[in-house]
Structure 1
Amino acid sequence: MSTTTPPQKTGQPTGRTTGRRPFLPALEGLRAVAALGIIVTHTAFQTGNDTGAVVNRIMARTDFFVPVFFALSGFLLWRRHFADRGDWRGYYVRRFGRIMPAYLVVVVVVLVLFPVAGDPGPLQVTATLLLLQNYVPDGLVGGLTHLWSLCVEMFFYLVMPLLALAVGRRSRRTRVVVIVGVAVLAALWPFLAGPRTGGINPHIMPWAFSGSFCVGLLAAEAEGRMLDAGGGGSSRSAESVRRWAGRRWLWAGLAAVILVAASFDGPEGLTAASPAEFFRRTTCGVLFAAALVVPVALQPRSRFLESPVMQALGRWSYSVFLWHMALLSLVFPLTGVGLFSGGYLALLVVTVVTVALTVPVAALSYSLVEEPARRAVSRWWSSRRADGNGSTTAVRQATNSSCTVSDAPA
């Protein structure tokens, strides 16, 4: 397990917690919850149970688990910045090794083998392979439409070093002010984007979801502040924060209230939201993500989230996310349920079968693609660094350090 060291008194920026922060199993479990929530929103939509009744509209808003993934990414990557400051080439290499191999496998398999992919054009195929589908007209391919959010994630990964370069060595207060400023500017995007034109959807642009990512950055700053307070002997405020964060039912209840409130606002289904409606929806998504991610990040103890089942699902959650839509397309002919039709029993059957198909496929993807590829890329990069430094010790250290949850994508 990694350790956290107090900030040094010389040569360090103000408000800096240095050293690798510890692995947080509860966040791994929360990733599992988010992945299952996203499956629910898609099965509800494809069985026609996402509009009309209140419970249907609530299930439609379980798409708020996408902002939860964004917030988790922001938290995990920003906290890693304190340990890996300046090693941005290594950061990009690790991101590529963690994200792209499993992504490319599912894209190629779906394009070649799954009828739901249809007959996409060369531009769609190329953009999807390069994770640029959000930026081309009608770029989303059947069975892979949900990967728009991974395209958003990639934007966050690319700009993270720029933000860290700009404010990483500033005081914690300055960093917080800048992060809040970015979130406020992001909230204005719905009013600046204008209507959908040329087949490009402004509602899936990265800046529309920057607020959720900023939730994770602020949680990482709060964690650093608590660690500094504890290390410096003034831990009363840190303990108070932990007590409040530990009131799980309070925060879960708040998240539920946000989910229900958002379900009553704005159009149903695929009807385009107005700028004001989209602003309210994205704001609710930010608040929902904050209510779930921040308490777990600051008081990361949970029997449920740390249980073996949730830990396994959390490890596999990236592949669960990648594969579930393609496998969902097979569930309808397998079960005889009609697409966009059926009641709650049909929804239950489709959801259970989708999960039953997706989890073992995700486990295989993790074992045969994700982990081997990540380790191979890590070893390659570590050997390059070792050759440059003339040290084999660096290989072992860098390979071991790449195994933390901080490398996990959303």
Structure 2
Amino acid sequence: MAASSPEILSEQTQTRSGRRRAASGGHVDGLTGLRGLAAITVVFVHGSGLTAYPWFGLHAYGPIALFVLSGFLLIQPWSKWIIGAAPKPSLDSFIRRRLWRIFPAYLVVLVVAALLLPLSRPVGADGWFRALTLTNTAAADGLRPGMEHTWSLGTELSWYAIVPVVGVLVATLGRRFWPDKPARPILAALGIAIMVSLGWRYFVMFHITDLGQLITFPLWLPAFLFCFLGGAAVAHLMLVARHGQGTMRSLEWLASKPSLVAGIAIASALIGNSTLGGAWTFTAGTFQEILIRTVACTIIATVLLIGVAAGDERSWLNRLFAMPWLVATGRWSYGLYLWHMPLMLLLAREVRIQPGFAGLLIWIAILLAVSIPLAAATYRFVEKPAIAWSKGVPVHSR
């Protein structure tokens, strides 16, 4: 789960076609709505696992969508530096803001879960160290019941660590090989990321035999690097176009056709959720099945990002993702993601899940009804003050 907020996208500018767009490439409300969709999808997928319908929802979409959004948002200060539109970002400020964004809420949930769910407690001093540092996937026993979903936070944290490296790499590639074509370096970096992800996944599937590594290695950053770079490429191309250093005709063309964006997303969802993407269970599939589902989810996340970030804010697609309830869910999405798994196990002790599809919907509704208010409270009393402090903004002024 990406703990990134689209609040840095605040300025507005005009495109050549007259459409108003956030300067850095997206509408705050629409991007927040995308986070809300991703978080709800995660709850549906995990919640359905306790019912007779473990296929309900699109497996892997939630984390992948949030990884794509994280790539889109966090590369922007570095992209502005690369194209000469802003000074080089402060590494100290970047690290401080990222750590205070991800850790406070996580540590609250970790402690509460450990108190209420004994099985969720880390094992031994080394287990607690991994839990407190979000290096849970360094060993298979770090994925504790009720907290196993926090693997994605470790992957996100790894992305934070290499964002400056990616920025410097893209800048170096551009200055050395394409000094007059600032869009090409990010595409080269995306190509490298695709090869790294494919190579890593192939290595894990066909060359790893240790059970613990088979469980954890597929969750490491290399497996999802292309997702982060895909979002980063969209942001970089939009910034290049905004500052008059290139065009993004392909992205603008796609974004101008919201029905096509939705059609591609729906078709990809059908493929990813079909038997081509593996069985409708939580069991691992073949290399081909996992690849199909992962690529399908990445396509969905990327085309929706393009449609919202580069599209007309008056389009039905942008209005859909800017619906107040979806934006609110997106604002609370980090807390929703953190709380829903331990709450699911706690509620399962008290709630008898009714059979049939209606029972599934009732169970999901109960899970959301408990998780969302707690997520909203976490945002108000933990996340928001931490964000303000990391920016040096007095909490009372927020």
Q: Which digits, 9 at most, give the CA deviation of each residue in 1:222-241, with x for residues without a partner? A: 21133134xx8x9xx66774
Shift, 1:333, TM fit: 3.0
**Does residue 226 in structure 1 map to residue 241 in structure 2?**
yes
What is aligned with 1:391?
Answer: none
Q: Counterparts of 2:135 and 2:93 in 1: how far apart (Å)? A: 22
Would the alpha carbon gap of residues 267 and 240 (structure 1) be closer, same or farther in structure 2, given more than 3 Å must change? closer
Moved more, 152-161 or 342-351: 342-351
Would the alpha carbon gap of residues 250 and 115 (structure 1) be closer, same or farther in structure 2, given more than 3 Å must change? farther
TM-score of the pair, normalised by structure 2: 0.81
Q: Which digits, 9 at most, give the CA deviation of each residue in 1:27-52, with x for residues without a partner? A: 011111111011111111121312xx
**Does residue 28 in structure 1 map to residue 32 in structure 2?**
yes
Would the alpha carbon gap of residues 24 and 80 (structure 1) be closer, same or farther in structure 2, given more than 3 Å must change? farther
Shift, 1:369, TM fit: 0.4
Q: Note if contact 2:122-2:131 (Cα within 8 Å) is conserved in structure 1.
A: no
Q: Secondary structure, in 3 states, of the residue corresponding to 1:336?
A: coil
Q: Note if contact 2:254-2:261 (Cα within 8 Å) is conserved in structure 1.
A: no
Question: Of 296, 303, 306, which aligns to 2:319?
Answer: 303
**Does residue 108 in structure 1 map to residue 111 in structure 2?**
yes
What is aligned with 2:192?
Answer: 181
Q: Counterparts of 1:203 and 1:240 in 2: how far apart (Å)? A: 32
Would the alpha carbon gap of residues 84 and 128 (structure 1) be closer, same or farther in structure 2, given more than 3 Å must change? farther
**Does residue 67 in structure 1 map to residue 70 in structure 2?**
no
What is aligned with 2:139?
Answer: 136
Would the alpha carbon gap of residues 253 and 116 (structure 1) be closer, same or farther in structure 2, given more than 3 Å must change? farther
Shift, 1:297, TM fit: 1.9
Shift, 1:286, TM fit: 2.0
Moved more, 61-70 or 79-88: 79-88
Q: Which digits, 9 at most, give the CA deviation of each residue in 1:50-83, with x for residues without a partner? A: 2xxxxx3xx2534312111000000011123225
Q: Counterparts of 1:183 and 1:214 in 2: how far apart (Å)? A: 9
Correspondences of 1:367-382 after superposition (within 5 Å): 367-379=380-392
Question: Of 234, 255, 261, which aligns to 1:245?
Answer: 255
Correspondences of 1:305-344 after superposition (within 5 Å): 305-337=321-353, 342-344=355-357
Shift, 1:243, TM fit: 4.9
* One-letter amino acid matched to 2:382: V
**Does residue 3 in structure 1 map to residue 11 in structure 2?**
yes
Q: Secondary structure, in 3 states, of the residue corresponding to 1:85?
A: coil
Q: Counterparts of 2:280 and 2:93 in 1: how far apart (Å)? A: 43
Shift, 1:87, TM fit: 0.8
* One-letter amino acid matched to 1:350: W
Task: Give me the CA root mean square deviation.
Answer: 2.8
Shift, 1:130, TM fit: 1.0
What is aligned with 1:195?
Answer: 208
Size of the aligned set, in residue pairs, is 357
Q: Secondary structure, in 3 states, of the residue corresponding to 2:152?
A: helix
**Does residue 260 in structure 1 map to residue 273 in structure 2?**
no
Q: Counterparts of 2:251 and 2:201 in 1: how far apart (Å)? A: 33
What is aligned with 2:20?
Answer: none
Q: Note if contact 1:190-1:276 (Cα within 8 Å) is conserved in structure 2.
A: no
What is aligned with 1:123?
Answer: 126
Structure 2: unaligned runs, 5 residues or longer: 1-8, 15-22, 81-85, 175-181
Q: Note if contact 1:67-1:286 (Cα within 8 Å) is conserved in structure 2.
A: yes
Would the alpha carbon gap of residues 78 and 72 (structure 1) be closer, same or farther in structure 2, given more than 3 Å must change? same
Structure 1: unaligned runs, 5 residues or longer: 7-18, 51-55, 380-394, 404-410
Q: Note if contact 1:3-1:21 (Cα within 8 Å) is conserved in structure 2.
A: no
Question: Of 81, 97, 119, which aligns to 2:100?
Answer: 97
TM-score of the pair, normalised by structure 1: 0.79
Q: Note if contact 2:183-2:237 (Cα within 8 Å) is conserved in structure 1.
A: no
Correspondences of 1:202-213 after superposition (within 5 Å): 202-213=217-228
Would the alpha carbon gap of residues 300 and 327 (structure 1) be closer, same or farther in structure 2, given more than 3 Å must change? farther
Shift, 1:303, TM fit: 1.7
Question: Of 282, 292, 295, which aligns to 1:283?
Answer: 295
Q: Secondary structure, in 3 states, of the residue corresponding to 2:145?
A: coil
Would the alpha carbon gap of residues 371 and 221 (structure 1) be closer, same or farther in structure 2, given more than 3 Å must change? same
Shift, 1:113, TM fit: 1.8
Q: Note if contact 2:193-2:229 (Cα within 8 Å) is conserved in structure 1.
A: yes
Q: Secondary structure, in 3 states, of the residue corresponding to 1:47?
A: coil
Would the alpha carbon gap of residues 300 and 29 (structure 1) be closer, same or farther in structure 2, given more than 3 Å must change? farther
Moved more, 255-264 or 317-326: 255-264
Q: Secondary structure, in 3 states, of the residue corresponding to 2:391?
A: helix
Would the alpha carbon gap of residues 270 and 32 (structure 1) be closer, same or farther in structure 2, given more than 3 Å must change? closer
Q: Counterparts of 2:34 and 2:322 in 1: how far apart (Å)? A: 9
What is aligned with 1:390?
Answer: none
